Amino acid sequence: MSEEHVDAIVVGARCAGSAAATALAKAGRRVVALDAGRFPSDTVSTHLLFAGGVAELARLGALDRVEELDPPRHFDAYIGSPGAEVRGTYSPVDGIAYGMCVRRPGLDLALVRTARAAGAEVREGVKVTSLVRGKDGRVIGVRAAERGAKGELTLRAPLVIGADGRRSTVARLLGVDVPYLSNANERAGYYAYYEDPHDDWRGTAAMWLEGRELGTAFPTDGGLVLALLMPPKERADAFRLDLEGEYDRTVASIPGLAKRLAGAARATKIVASVEQPSYFRRSAGPGWALAGDAGHFKDPVTAQGIRDALRFGRLLGEAAAPVLGNPGRLDAVVRAWERRLVAECRETYHWTNRFARADPVNPLQEQMLRMLATEPHGSRRLLDVYSRVRKPSRLMTPAFMAACALGALRRGDTDRRALLRTLVRELRTEAAVTRDLRQAARHR
């Protein structure tokens, strides 16, 4: 068994892992990132970025490499339902006012190359098998095995970062894989890529709501469009029995999406993801941290995962790099990083859970879309929430929600009982969310 000593170890080299490794290497630290896979390779992901996510690629120094893949820029976004629709543009984030959708093989390879260019060593086909601990229980390294090689390698470092996804090996070895906060998903996910013949939609990320169905179309690199369906999870058995048939029937049941894909040939197999609960795990401890989906995960319905993985992977590397030689200061910095993550992401987590319900489109939702579509800059205020430059609570204020309810009530075609049920549920949810956010703030 061979042994090496480095400044930091990152387990997982996709979005969060490459971001952390890049930041550490830029600070002059010797960092080794280990990934069980090899690049380029795919992973289950909706891989949509709003303007705030593209800005994170730029902050990391990876945007130029990603742009080489020639993904179309999404200069606007669209949400449609049977009774309302809204289309808008983004507020600039660091001068960037567009989103993009980039397939993961190319995106992740661009991030790995960015990490290597910064000076990080990325070792592919290497799986972590156990953690190395000091006499006081502190994590001081990992043991890993290279695919096809005999024996194990021991790597020692002041900091081990687990960035190895929802099924994180590092989280399991640490005993923190059971979340302290979680929410079961109500929607499953099924997506495929189509050849995209509609040039007039190439600059638009679009979503349609129809009854309990949700479908999206995100133009991506390679002249393709990603078509994602998020039906109620109870329909998973029907999809399992006839994946292609159920997928096609669901597309046909969403008129806007069916029109968007008209004349487009499906170019790939359909990818399924049924179980995708949202959660927060404990993400910092003596000698270790969890970044990206290893530490917290939000339902993909709001497409926030890559943005947060890039941002908090980078911030972790930047914060830890100057104090790796001082265990006490390192632990304090890593705990402060976790508190910042919770402070920035907890409200978005709850907003995502609300949007991810597999409920029929309700009168309050439709009235909100109507009002945002007619207000000056209303659609931009909504997209600013997706870009993370505006908190959901600053959009869905009590006054705005009351105005939406009143507007829906005044419409002659509103189902008043459905509206009342929606209002009661929203008030209960708001009370629960407020309690959780206050509790989280007290523990910062």
Say if strands 224-229 and 284-285 run parallel, antiparallel, or are unpaired: unpaired
353-376 pLDDT, tens digit each: 999 999 999 899 999 999 999 988
Check: CB of residue 165 under 8 Å from CB of residue 292.
yes
Residue reference for tokens 């908090």:
312
As a whole number, mean pLDDT of residues 122-150 equals 94
Three-state DSSP state, 198: coil
**Who contacts 161 (Cβ-Cβ below 8 Å, separation ≥6)?**
8, 9, 10, 11, 17, 20, 288, 289, 290, 291, 316
How much of the chain, in percent, has pLDDT values that exceed 90?
91
Where is pLDDT greater, at 414 or 21?
21
62-102 pLDDT, tens digit each: 999 999 999 999 999 999 999 899 999 999 999 999 999 99
Residue 324 has pLDDT above 70, yes or no: yes
Identify the helix (H) or strand (E) that includes residue 238: helix 236-241
Q: Read off the pLDDT band of 412 (50, 70, 90).
A: confident
**Who contacts 306 (Cβ-Cβ below 8 Å, separation ≥6)?**
15, 45, 47, 48, 49, 53, 107
Q: Read off the pLDDT band of 1 (50, 70, 90).
A: low
DSSP 254: S
Please state whether 156 falls in left (phi above 0), alpha (psi between -120 and 50) or beta: beta
Q: Which residues pair with 294 in a beta bridge?
A: none
How many Å apart are CA 65 and CA 57, to the nearest integer? 10
418-431 pLDDT, tens digit each: 989 989 999 999 99
pLDDT for res 444: 67
How many Å apart are CA 304 and CA 119, to the nearest integer? 28
Q: CA 374, 378, 383, 386: dihedral to nearest 10 degrees?
A: -120
DSSP string of 333-373? HHHHHHHHHHHHHHHHHHHHHHHT--PPP-HHHHHHHHHHH
Residue reference for tokens 């070792």:
123
110-129 pLDDT, tens digit each: 999 999 999 999 999 999 99
Check: CB of residue 128 under 8 Å from CB of residue 32.
no
**Who contacts 358 (Cβ-Cβ below 8 Å, separation ≥6)?**
186, 187, 212, 231, 232, 233, 234
Identify the helix (H) or strand (E) that includes residue 219: strand 213-220
The C-alpha angle with vertex 357 and arms to 356 and 358, in degrees rounded to 5, equals 110
280-321 pLDDT, tens digit each: 999 999 999 999 999 999 999 999 999 999 999 999 999 999
Residue reference for tokens 């995960």:
297
As a whole number, mean pLDDT of residues 193-203 equals 95
Instruction: Tokens for 249, please give them.
Output: 């029937």
State the pTM of this model.
0.96
DSSP string of 23-86? HHHHTT--EEEEESS-SS---S---EE-HHHHHHHHHHT-HHHHHTT-PPPB-EEEEEETTEEE
Identify the helix (H) or strand (E) that includes residue 381: helix 378-387
Q: Read off the pLDDT band of 151 (50, 70, 90).
A: confident
As a whole number, mean pLDDT of residues 146-153 equals 84
Residue 149 has pLDDT above 90, yes or no: no
pLDDT for res 87: 95
DSSP string of 274-329? ----EEE---EETTEEE-GGGTEE--GGG--HHHHHHHHHHHHHHHHGGGTT-HHH
As a whole number, mean pLDDT of residues 229-245 equals 98
Residue 394 has pLDDT above 90, yes or no: yes
**Who contacts 30 (Cβ-Cβ below 8 Å, separation ≥6)?**
6, 7, 8, 121
- Of the candidates 153, 149, 105, 116, the one whose C-alpha atom is nearest the C-alpha of residue 132 is 153
Diameter of the chain measured on Cα atoms = 76
The C-alpha angle with vertex 90 and arms to 86 and 92, in degrees rounded to 5, equals 170
